[in-house]
Amino acid sequence: MAVCVSASMIPSLKSDRSTLLGAASAASISHSTKLSSLSSLQFPVRTRFLQTGSARVSSSSRPRILPVVEAKKQSFSSFDDLLANSEKPLLVDFYATWCGPCQFMVPILDEVSTRLKDKIQIVKIDTEKYPSIADKYSIAALPTFIIFKDGKPCDRFEGALTADQMIDRIEAGLNVKQ
């Protein structure tokens, strides 16, 4: 079973990657008084869709359909708290919503979670929402997987893998057999 961590669950880890729209920026975008009154709003660095009335503008004309993955939501005050209180070793998937290989891994991680449910717990960390965690573990490529055993990293690998390749890698990292 996968665990999904969101900004609402870990308030101390709010996104570092949002920009504050200052008065100067608002003035450069438009001289409208309506926009300048929005100068204290925060906007994410990347915007995926623009919704105006019934028209939808996106980078792709095709809608993206992602498989449904059963996730168990849990609240922790910090990532260190999650590591310290885990009953099983953790496989942490560092991903981003815009990353194609990361999206490819969703059904594979679901299969791995099902097959190794007694051996490991899978946790997904969105690097866009938690850049401080990504920086702490030097995440430079996506997807990056780190296996934590007893709260400490014991193995790390990057890129998309098949379910069998991932299970072999996890078992080798944990020195356990299925």
Q: What is the DSSP string of 25-76?
A: HHHHH---HHHHTTTT-EEES----EEETTEEE-S-SSPP------B-----
Active-site residue, 154 included: no
**Six-digit token string for 69:** 């993955």
Active-site residue, 99 included: yes
Residue found under tokens 């080798």: 172
Rounded to whole angstroms, how far apart are CA atoms 119 and 54?
47
Of the residues 99, 106, 108, 160, only one is catalytic, namely 99
C-alpha count within 13 angstroms, C-beta hemisphere, residue 31:
0
Of the residues 2, 13, 102, 166, only one is catalytic, namely 102
- Tell how strand 42-44 and strand 2-4 pair up: unpaired
- Report, as residue numbers or ranges, the catalytic residues: 99, 102
